[in-house]
Structures are given as structure tokens and as C-alpha cells.
Copies of this chain bind each other. A is one copy, B any other.
């Protein structure tokens, strides 16, 4: 997100607009934790993950009183437009604030889950895929020598973007994603049958599986234990957790952050409000902010077809699932 913050500050400077940031998100806004940001402050933050202005959750922001208080703080600071970088929670907050504040509000999609409608990609997604793929590569290195099943649990409880992209990038034999589970939840019997068929087709044993979080009770650890205990399949789990949120941001995220930060400032100049800047192909687009969570961002059906159908080692007719 630092890339987007930097771009907002540099673009604002270019158009001679002053930038005030609030540390710790809405919590800091309520407490007027404001700080003026000039180009010099954001020059060399691109390499770092996380955000220099920190972040925080703020349950209280959902109340009318909080929105009114935020409105007062913004007015006291002479803010004319607010740029919100975040996911659907942040954007719901922005929409709530808009009912109580007269200024412009522009969203920049900053979430690793890529689950916002109206944009091909969100800032942080490419980096998370990079990290998940790297973990899968490392496991593949050792998996090949052993007849074992490996389960890597990745983020994305509601959307399988990280799961699908990392599984495809690393050539996983299987992925368990929310979108696939909704259609037809996996049974362990069907999974074991798939593993056995893959091992038969391949004539060898390593089977690497990507599991989106919250798709199996107890996650990768529990699923691995079940496969070992009930089916005598040697199985090793990995749980990436917050590793996926760190690390040097991928180039795609930094370039996206640059484009979106500049676009956000230009949207302000155009008078827009309650829109999120999105990317479609190589074009910047403005998306009504309520659409971003009310409409569904589907997985790319072509990628899903390729990884789940065409690259599936077991043919459709032979599969249970």
C-alpha cells in the first residue's frame, strides 16, 4: 500500500494539493492523528511492506456518532477529499461516513484477497500470490522424492484468488477454493479417490494441494491428520498465515499502486465521489463504491477451467468431484 500512498502524495504535489494523512485508519481519524505528508516523506517507502501510516480496526466507526465525529475532524483539518485505502470493510466505512460528511470520498483497493468487484486486481494480491507460490515451489522441491501428500493452507476465506493463482503458478495437483466448495463441497472420500487416481496416472506419489482457509474444519493440520489416521496417506501440512501479508511488494503491486494513487488524485480533481479506482485491462476505471462489495468479483473462468479441468491429472469422467 505504500506505493499507493506515495503516488497519492506525489500526484497531489504535482497538482499542488496538500496531503494530510491519518495514522491508524478510522481510529486515527476519530482521534485526529493527522500528519502532513510531503514528497520527501514518501520517497523511499516502496520497498517495504505494511504501511508507514499504520492501520487498525475500528468497530466503533460503524455508529452514527463516530461518523459525525469524523466529519468534524475532517472539517477542522480543512479536508476536502478523503482517500481510503483498504478492503470491503474500509469501503463500507467510507460509505457510512459519506452519509454524514459533504466532502469527496475516493477508494483505493488495498487487500490481498482480490475480492472487490470492479477491478481486475487489488494492491497486495500479486505479492501474496508470489509468497504462496514460493512456498509451493519449496515444497515441490522435496516432495518429488517422496510418496507424500502436502497441503498448503493459503488466505482467502471468501474468495479463491490467491488459491487459484498460486496453484496454477506452482502446478499444484489440487486446489480447494470457496468458489468450488460452494458448488459441491469436497468429501474426504472423494479427495482420497482423487489422490489415488493421480498417483496411478502419474506412476509416482507427490501430490501438492492448495487449501483456502476456512474450507475444512481445522484447516490443513486437521485434514492432514485425517488423511493419515483414516486413510494411511502420509501427509504434511503447511500453514502460511500472515507470511502472505509481508515481504517486499511485487512489481505488479507497486505499479498498480502508482496508477491507482495517481488516478485517485485525478478523480478528486474531476469532482468524483464515492467511487473506487479500479483497473480493467490496462485502463483505470471508476467504480461506485457500493458496487465493490455488493457485487461479486468472480474468479476468471478461463483460469479456473484451465487449472481445474485442463490441467487436472484425472479426467472429468474419472472424477467424483
Contact = CB atoms under 8 A, between A and B. Distances in A.
A143 B44 CA distance: 11
Interface string A262-282: 100000000000000000111
A260 to B, nearest CB: 11
Interface in A264-321: 280-282, 284, 300, 302-303, 306-307, 309-311, 313
A11 to B, nearest CB: 5
A245 B206 CA distance: 15
Nearest to A239: B239
Interface residues of A, number: 83
Copy tally for this chain in the complex stands at: 4
A47 interface: yes
Contacts of A241: 139, 150, 236-239
Nearest to A254: B169
A141 B251 contact: no
Contacts of A44: 140, 144, 171
A86 to B, nearest CB: 13
A219 interface: yes
A259 B168 CA distance: 10
Interface stretch (A51-59, A74-82, A95-103): A51-59
14 contacts: A39-B313, A46-B169, A50-B145, A133-B251, A135-B243, A138-B244, A165-B255, A218-B221, A221-B221, A237-B239, A237-B241, A238-B240, A258-B306, A282-B302
